[in-house]
Amino acid sequence: MNLDGTPYALMPMQLADVPTVSAVERSVFSLPWSTSAFTYDLTNNPNAEYLVVRYLPWMAPERAEGRLARSMRRLLKPPQQDPSLIGYGGLWMVLEEGHICTLAVRAAWRGRGLGELLLAGLIERARARGAEVMTLEVRVSNVTAQNLYLKYGFRVVGRRKGYYTDNREDALVMTTDSIVAPGYGALLATLTEQLHARLVKTPEAPASALKAPRAEDVAP
Ligand SMILES: CC(C)(COP(=O)(O)OP(=O)(O)OC[C@H]1O[C@@H](n2cnc3c(N)ncnc32)[C@H](O)[C@@H]1OP(=O)(O)O)[C@@H](O)C(=O)NCCC(=O)NCCS
């Protein structure tokens, strides 16, 4: 994924990211994953892969520039809340399927292409790992996420009744056609090119991310 000239970086999630990811998770989802679920996948699940999107101007300089020796970095406590981490997404490889297991962008940062960036990054990783199709579940009421998935070639193929245990809401099952077909590669190339142009255009942080404490900063 070309992010040259943008203030963003797409990176593999690290264990040190888990406290921030968990806080964002609690602020975003009514059925949040536990901290240990992320930790388990990062340490014990070779079929799982997670990405985070970072806003580079807000990264701690020693992390951004990689200037500290590894031994010194171990002495530094990872920040409980890393404001540079503005979204994350996850992929489970299940045989020839790449399953999007989670996707979230901090509320203040939505609507500027970052959900798309994470989804495209996960699809690229799934392709690199040999996936032939992508799958996911999404709440029937989550039209925003459904639109994002439709844009990337997902279509509704089924419905799981009462899938979400908090309100018994149904899940839509969405899948793509072959992601290794030339047509899909061309779609991905076009969409990521357009996305790059969009990300370059808006380099500044949203005003709402600068004021008012973020909900996730005060989450228990
Ligand atoms: C879903 C989510 C990840 C999208 O992230 P985002 O950064 O706001 O989305 P983007 O700016 O990348 O938008 C990409 C596409 O999503 C759709 N979309 C985004 N915001 C939308 C809105 N308010 N209404 C309708 N569609 C919308 C559009 O198709 C958009 O493409 P376009 O800009 O060409 O119209 C984000 O809203 C989020 O974190 N929601 C809460 C968690 C969640 O629902 N996760 C998905 C679980 S299945």
Q: Look at residue 113 and tell me if it is in a domain.
A: yes
Q: For ligand 1, which residues put their CB under 6 angstroms from it?
A: 28, 103-105, 110-116, 138, 142-145, 147-148, 151
Q: Look at residue 108 and tell me if it is in a domain.
A: yes
| Ligand 1 atom nearest 29 alpha carbon | 42
Per-residue pLDDT of the chain (220 residues), as tens digits, is: 899 999 999 999 999 999 999 999 999 999 999 999 999 999 999 999 999 999 999 987 766 555 556 655 555 555 568 999 999 999 999 999 999 999 999 999 999 999 999 999 999 999 999 999 999 999 999 999 999 999 999 999 999 999 999 999 999 999 999 999 999 999 999 999 999 999 999 999 999 887 644 544 433 3
CB 91, CB 99: distance < 8 Å: yes
Q: Which domain, by its residues, includes 106?
A: 8-204
Identify the residue whose tokens are 């969409």. Answer: 191
Q: Look at residue 147 and tell me if it is in a domain.
A: yes
Q: At 38, which CATH number?
A: 3.40.630.30
Q: Look at residue 215 and tell me if it is in a domain.
A: no
Q: Residue 135: how many CB atoms within 10 A of its CB? A: 20
**Number of separate domains in the chain:** 1
Q: Look at residue 3 and tell me if it is in a domain.
A: no
Helix (H, G, I), strand (E, B) or coil at 6: coil
Identify the residue whose tokens are 């579940």. Answer: 137
Long-range contacts of 12-15 (CB under 8 A, 24+ apart): 12/49, 12/50, 12/51, 12/52, 13/38, 13/42, 13/50, 13/51, 13/52, 13/88, 13/90, 14/42, 15/39, 15/42, 15/43
Q: Look at residue 192 and tell me if it is in a domain.
A: yes
Catalytically active residues are 137, 149
Q: Look at residue 209 and tell me if it is in a domain.
A: no
Q: Look at residue 218 and tell me if it is in a domain.
A: no
Instruction: Give pTM, 2 decimals.
Output: 0.91
